[in-house]
């Protein structure tokens, strides 16, 4: 299995996704600032992967924090604020930070060393839990995949974007494991090329047929019947089912609806933000236009011409046929179905916390 995030006793170790597919290299991160920079600079990316990495980064950082309650809480609070600011759209980051904050609040009276030990255990648990949830989600989602199908996906919502197995690609993997004949069409996903570099790499490693297309080919290929369904991941889902995902997802959803092709989203309940009433409440990360006009060190537009890079877009709920979570498949009206999934997940977490 692809392991994009590893935590040894000495360091948070990440598979450097900027170097793939040419080079498979890991970076070792010892300091909080290094982990934050790795998230910001896309060494690790994908909402669930960012959440797990953040948890490990914080659990590693608290080992060096003051041992008195006041000093510890001040340092921990500052670390949480810096961590959350690394990438604004992927809500799994804030979710992971909130989960560790809650743990600290509940157990502070046990003393700082005990809290640090609990945080380490929790971060490791979140890693294992993410893989487990993806497998469950995959099984729920594979019901939506016909016995023979071409699945178009955008960006990379695979093992690399999670602790392992993947969300959208987890659905593909589960369908293949069930014996279905599935192939993947991967939008290249300009400008970071998550589809061409990462999705294609993962699929090739697993022996799942995968064809890369440029982002502007999807409509044509749909019109000639080459795509059976679309499955994408998400960075944040609003309470009404509006979905934030990699820039270009909205275009794919509009095209899918035009051609009568089902459009599905696979994401864990940790990606659902019930505090966001609709997509309008989701902050969209704006990255530097330089990332658009410079490819592999080569500038492709005249110097001085501005470029825009909103990194995500919002697909309105009305274009989403179903949202696959680890708690089951949610369908419209999403305000009710997503809340039910989140309630089921929260009940499970509460049970576990009460037992520990
Ligand atoms: O900028 P990225 O590469 O972090 O964006 C990632 C995506 O948009 C993914 O589709 C999303 O996080 C889901 S990953 C399981």
Q: How far apart are CA 83 and CA 68, in angstroms?
A: 22
Task: Answer whether 313's CB lies under 8 Å from 294's CB.
Answer: no
Q: Mean pLDDT, the chain, as a whole number? A: 97
pLDDT of residue 354: 84
Classify 288 as helix, strand or coil: coil
Minimum-distance ligand 1 atom for the alpha carbon of 266: 15
The per-residue pLDDT for range 230-287, each reduced to its tens digit, is 999 999 999 999 999 999 999 999 999 999 999 999 999 999 999 999 999 999 999 9
Q: How far apart are CA 74 and CA 80, in angstroms?
A: 10
User: What's the gap in Å between 49 CA and the centre of ligand 1?
Assistant: 9
Number of H helices, E strands in the chain: 11, 16
60: Cβ below 6 Å to ligand 1?
no
Ligand 1, atom 8, lies closest to the CA of: 246
Residues of the chain with pLDDT > 70, as a percent, come to 100
**Known catalytic membership, residue 235:** yes
User: What's the gap in Å between 48 CA and the centre of ligand 1?
Assistant: 8
User: Cα separations (Å) of 23 from 39, 163, 279, 298?
Assistant: 19, 20, 37, 20
Band of residue 352 on the pLDDT scale cut at 50, 70, 90? confident
Which residue from 88, 90, 236 has its CB within 8 A of the most atoms of ligand 1, so it is best to mutate?
A: 90
Helix 91-107 vs helix 47-61: crossing angle, to nearest 10: 30
Stretch among 8-12, 246-250, 315-319 having the lowest mean pLDDT: 8-12
Ligand 1, atom 6, lies closest to the CA of: 46
Report whether pLDDT(26) > 90. yes
245: Cβ below 6 Å to ligand 1?
yes
4: Cβ below 6 Å to ligand 1?
no
311: Cβ below 6 Å to ligand 1?
yes
Band of residue 21 on the pLDDT scale cut at 50, 70, 90? very high
Task: Answer whether 184's CB lies under 8 Å from 209's CB.
Answer: yes
Report whether pLDDT(355) > 90. no
pLDDT of residue 254: 98
User: What's the gap in Å between 337 CA and the centre of ligand 1?
Assistant: 23
Report whether pLDDT(147) > 90. yes
User: What's the gap in Å between 356 CA and the centre of ligand 1?
Assistant: 32
Report whether pLDDT(151) > 90. yes
Band of residue 30 on the pLDDT scale cut at 50, 70, 90? very high
Which two three-digit tokens encode residue 204?
């090739």
User: What's the gap in Å between 18 CA and the centre of ligand 1?
Assistant: 14
Ligand 1, atom 15, lies closest to the CA of: 157
Q: How far apart are CA 81 and CA 73, in angstroms?
A: 12
Band of residue 1 on the pLDDT scale cut at 50, 70, 90? confident
Report whether pLDDT(192) > 90. yes
Give the closest residue to 87 by CA, choosing from 137, 38, 131: 38
pLDDT of residue 330: 98
The per-residue pLDDT for range 208-222, each reduced to its tens digit, is 999 999 999 999 999
Which residue from 235, 264, 325 has its CB within 8 A of the most atoms of ligand 1, so it is best to mutate?
A: 235
Angle, vertex CA 8, rays to CA 3 and CA 9, nearest 5: 165
Angle, vertex CA 282, rays to CA 307 and CA 139, nearest 5: 105
Q: How far apart are CA 50 and CA 83, in angstroms?
A: 10
The active-site residue out of 235, 273, 313, 321 is 235
236: Cβ below 6 Å to ligand 1?
no
Minimum-distance ligand 1 atom for the alpha carbon of 246: 8
43: Cβ below 6 Å to ligand 1?
no
User: What's the gap in Å between 50 CA and the centre of ligand 1?
Assistant: 9
Which residue from 46, 196, 231, 291 has its CB within 8 A of the most atoms of ligand 1, so it is best to mutate?
A: 46
The per-residue pLDDT for range 76-121, each reduced to its tens digit, is 999 999 999 999 999 999 999 999 999 999 999 999 999 999 999 9
Order across the sheet with 26-29: list the strands: 5-7, 12-15, 26-29
Helix 69-84 vs helix 47-61: crossing angle, to nearest 10: 160
């Amino acid at each position: 299995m692809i392991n994009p995030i590893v935590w040894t006793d000495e360091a948070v170790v990440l598979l450097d996704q900027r170097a793939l597919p040419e080079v498979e290299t890991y970076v070792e991160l010892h300091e909080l600032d290094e982990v934050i920079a790795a998230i910001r600079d896309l060494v690790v990316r994908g909402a669930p992967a960012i959440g797990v990495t953040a948890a490990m980064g914080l659990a590693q950082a608290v080992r060096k924090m003051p041992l008195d309650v006041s000093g510890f809480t001040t340092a921990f609070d500052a670390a949480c604020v810096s961590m959350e600011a690394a990438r604004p759209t992927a809500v799994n980051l804030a979710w992971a930070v909130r989960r560790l904050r809650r743990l600290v609040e509940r157990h502070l009276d046990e003393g700082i060393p005990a809290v640090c030990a609990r945080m380490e255990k929790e971060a490791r648990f979140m890693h294992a839990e993410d893989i487990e949830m993806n497998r469950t989600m995959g099984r729920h989602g594979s019901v939506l995949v016909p016995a023979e199908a071409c699945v178009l996906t955008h960006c990379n919502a695979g093992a690399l974007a999670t602790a392992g197995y993947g969300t959208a690609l987890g659905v593909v993997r589960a369908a293949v494991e069930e014996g279905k004949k599935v192939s993947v069409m991967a939008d290249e996903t300009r400008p970071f090329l998550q589809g061409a570099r990462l999705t294609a790499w993962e699929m090739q490693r697993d022996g799942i047929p995968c064809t890369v297309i440029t982002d502007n080919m999807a409509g044509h290929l749909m019109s000639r019947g080459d795509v059976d369904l679309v499955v994408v991941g998400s960075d944040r889902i609003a309470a009404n089912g509006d979905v934030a995902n990699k820039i270009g997802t909205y275009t794919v959803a509009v095209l899918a609806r035009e051609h009568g092709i089902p459009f599905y989203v696979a994401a864990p309940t940790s990606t659902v933000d019930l505090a966001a009433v609709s997509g309008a409440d989701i902050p969209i990360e704006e990255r530097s236009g330089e990332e658009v006009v410079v490819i592999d060190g080569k500038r492709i537009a005249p110097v001085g011409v501005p470029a825009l890079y909103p990194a995500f877009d919002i697909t309105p709920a009305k274009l989403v046929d179903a949202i696959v979570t680890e708690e089951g498949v949610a369908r419209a009206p999403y305000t009710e179905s997503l809340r039910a999934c989140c309630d089921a997940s929260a009940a499970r977490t509460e049970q576990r916390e009460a037992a520990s």
